[in-house]
Structure 1
């Protein structure tokens, strides 16, 4: 899996940083209809221009609820329900702001220690952490997780069952040994992921229920770049992200010549996804035997669209055989995505597997710093 840390111009800094975290959190997409999640994404940089030294984002059920960075020096709620919660409990915002400031200093010290320990020279260097918990409200089970990445590689993760650190990267072995010896800290982490994080998650789910448990149906379109390209069935604007999409032939789901994409997050907090069909071997007279089906959890009716040349949106030149539907909005959206991806300068790979320390107070990485 890959995480993109996006560097932007100063006036777009926060917006693009938030979009980065939207992409990052979707790497840990949960398909179950009864699972809830609270996740924190923390990034510290050294030697990276036009990007804060520290950025933090918090999500509930894959929806961003808060943001902070070292430039604005405070935490900001990102949803109306979270703003209302802050209005009733202003100390909650202050608590997050203080933790953000504290994390900034500790993560910078962590990078300095890692540079020294690993004998690194000039940067840029990126240290990231993803932690939090999941709750299955059907079974009542909770799962905590915490993992670190450094300079584009998996670095450390905590196994809560054994209360030991896992070091997938040989460069992390020394830190693992130091952390494994910190028994009090490990017990503290175990308590946080077993009790405190689930309590926070339940509280946020309760306050944001009307927003988090809503459903929004998408618009579904057929897209094709050129007459010889694959046909993409694209759905956008749906919520939540528990959705399925596939191609059928004569009413039966098919897998041959089909490529399914990941569910992605839109700027407005809704989602999009696509599934492609290679039509190179499909004769024109057989196109209408194919259709694309979109299914959204909690919504009874499927959305179906038949494979039809006249329904395809494209940007190739008009011809009688392949009429081009108006797609200015879609093309503009694609160009925006390409622009954002064009300024991405760091890729960090992390796999969701295990966990780690208490994120509210133990924001540390090197040699037991606090």
Structure 2
């Protein structure tokens, strides 16, 4: 469904090239230029949630989807947003469906949407080539460089793959952050004071990259959320050679599942691992004990963008709004990422209201 040429399904030279292209578009130098646009998306999103009961996860998915499109297509994304959204929303419903490609089935509808999505992307590529005199610094421009020699199919597969990777995972993290802040008023107060200090210092001017580097408390909250919630519980890997691990032989070709949740919740690595305690990250964790974005050559190349959009949303959320969760929140649901019960129903109110 994502496409056979997507970065997730490869290793070796092709994977290395794709990873380099994605990293180039998502370096701090690149993403800091779109902070004003991310901020605009965050402000509009929060405003649309005011004074109503929302499903936090579903609303966060809309926010992260729009940021993903911005990072891929730059400011041109507004031209294609609705068409891309319509097809992608149908496609994603089939990710966990039975692969029965018969008319009327969810899988069939999703595959049809996948073809339509590829057609839209082909049009976008054609339009971008016609306007090649314009300079672009987005992911699409990185993929389209002639010297890289990527085909339209490879570009389309990897754009869809990036949307998949950038959307639900980051939306899940933001959902858990809202839950943990609501349940830990002392932590929420510390984050709010930090963000209000930044807001006062910038005097209503747009956020900058330098501002996001003045958020140590907020950054620790993000780290602790990534540890406790462990959105990426495990990943699929394959032994590329014989490996001996703690006396066991893992033969070449065997499938391996690194269990990040077990690592993050091990008392050997973190004391009282079930407790939400951002202060534990005042000291850097030991190597290979904290891997929310994976590790090695297959680690997430978009982690800088993910952290940036989370910081921007938290800034406006804590300085301008208050919220309360609705209903019981004592269960974890998997869809397939770990989520609070029912997607965390929340009521959000502007602070200026009584």
TM-score normalized with structure 2 length? 0.28
Richer in helix (by share):
2
The structure that has the greater radius of gyration is 1
Richer in strand (by share):
1
